Amino acid sequence: MIKRSVLLGLGIVSLLLGMAGIVLPLLPTVPFVLLAGFCFARSSPELHRWLHQHPWFAQALCDWHQQRGLRLPLKRRALVMTIASFSLSIWLVSVLWLKLFLAIICLILVAFLWRLPVVANAGKSSVYDPE
């Protein structure tokens, strides 16, 4: 019961951070939404189903679950936004060690995104059914 509550809370916080990441340059959206999906799968079938049917997230989650990849436009957007947001952050920060830390995190995230497979864009594919 406690584990379920913790996962539900973590999933909600993760989803809120992911949604904030849509408009805030420092927060990535995709990792937080994937984490929310993971947490909801283990804590709330209703929220898991809702997330997988949401117009903003359904296709990307479906692609991730079925093929462990992203469609090319989403992958490009994620790479561009990651590089842009980290570049802005590195430029704004005045502490050298923090600039280096941000640069290392950026390189790790870009390498992760770069290595993700590209899913063929065959129009609107079926939505992932978590059950």
Q: How far is CA 80 from the centre of its chain?
A: 14
- Enumerate the domain spans of the chain: 1-68, 70-119
- Radius of gyration for the alpha carbons in the chain, expressed in angstroms and rounded: 16
Residue 34 scores a pLDDT above 90: no
Locate 61 and state its tokens: 């989650």
What pTM was computed for the model?
0.69
pLDDT per residue over 37-62, tens digit each? 999 999 999 999 999 999 988 888 88
Better-predicted residue by pLDDT, 30 or 97: 97
What average pLDDT does range 24-49 have in this prediction?
86
**Which pLDDT score, from 0 to 100, does residue 22 have?**
79
Determine the Cα–Cα distance for residues 98 and 89; give it in Å rounded to an integer.
Answer: 10
